[in-house]
């Protein structure tokens, strides 16, 4: 759907704090997203998207809502559609995605490396926006399945480090419990792949 914050290509509603004329890059429209989700749902396969910025997430959520109006929410949920990163997401968006059975393939190491009020996210977006990324507790609280990974080579393969980062999120209130983090880095990956019982 969009690019990344480090390269200033994540699609934003408001410009980058350190590049005021830039709102990033939008690669897929709401309509294209909806069409892809409908086609994948009807074909019985999992759709997958990369999205980071808040404008990108808004387009994604609108696309999923439009798709649900065509094929129905239960059909969407049955396919376990997957979204990589999903960093700038609010509670209302999380609720819609959670209700649609969306799986968030997220990277706790991103917050450890770039989060908080003084990291790269804060440099690119300002401290208020920059410290509001990767709200794992919000996503989990609204029924979004979290499946942890590293996005290597962006961050190293380090499952225990990812679990620690998810529990000790740099923004107070955004972390999850050790048990939830362990599940996100074990069973949730199998669930995302359609393999339950592992």
Write down the pTM of the prediction: 0.96
What is the pLDDT confidence band of residue 197, given thresholds at 50, 70 and 90? low
Q: Is the pLDDT of residue 134 over 90?
A: yes
Longest dimension (CA), the chain: 49
| Angstrom distance (rounded) from CA 147 to CA 184 | 5
Tell me whether residue 97 is exposed, middle or buried, using C-beta atoms within 10 angstroms of its C-beta: 0 to 12, 13 to 18, 19 or more.
buried
* Residue range 149-164, pLDDT digits in tens: 999 999 999 999 999 9
Segment 20-40 mean pLDDT: 98
- What's the CA gap between 137 and 166, in Å, rounded? 9
145-148 sheet: strands from edge to edge = 48-51, 82-85, 103-106, 145-148
User: SS3 for 2?
Assistant: strand
Q: What is the pLDDT of residues 93-125, one digit of tens each?
A: 999 999 999 999 999 999 999 999 999 999 999
Confidence of residue 196 (pLDDT cuts 50, 70, 90): confident
Burial of 120 (0-12, 13-18, 19+ CB in 10 A): middle
Mean pLDDT of the chain: 96
For 39-63, how does the pLDDT look when each residue is reduced to its tens digit (9 = 90+)?
999 999 999 999 999 999 999 999 9
Question: What is the distance between the alpha carbons of residues 45 and 99, in angstroms, rounded to a whole number?
Answer: 18
Model confidence pLDDT, tens digit, residues 60-75: 999 999 999 999 999 9
DSSP letter assigned to residue 145: E
């Amino acid at each position: 759907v969009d690019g990344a914050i480090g390269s200033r290509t994540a699609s934003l509603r408001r410009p980058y704090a350190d590049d005021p004329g830039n709102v990033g890059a939008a690669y897929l429209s709401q309509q294209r997203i909806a069409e892809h989700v409908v086609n994948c749902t009807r074909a019985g396969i999992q759709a997958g998207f990369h999205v980071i910025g808040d404008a990108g997430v808004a387009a994604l959520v609108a696309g999923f809502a439009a798709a649900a109006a065509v094929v129905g929410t239960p059909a969407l949920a049955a396919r376990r559609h997957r979204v990589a990163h999903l960093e700038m997401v609010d509670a209302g968006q999380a609720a819609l995605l959670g209700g649609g059975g969306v799986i968030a393939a997220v990277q706790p190491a991103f917050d450890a490396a770039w989060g908080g009020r003084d990291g790269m996210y804060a440099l690119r977006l300002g401290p208020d926006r920059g410290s509001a990324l990767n709200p794992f507790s919000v996503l989990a609280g609204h029924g979004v399945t979290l499946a942890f990974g590293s996005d290597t080579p962006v961050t190293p393969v380090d499952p225990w480090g990812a679990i620690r980062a998810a529990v000790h999120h740099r923004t107070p209130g955004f972390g999850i419990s050790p048990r939830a983090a362990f599940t996100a880095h074990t069973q949730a990956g199998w669930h995302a792949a359609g393999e339950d019982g592992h």
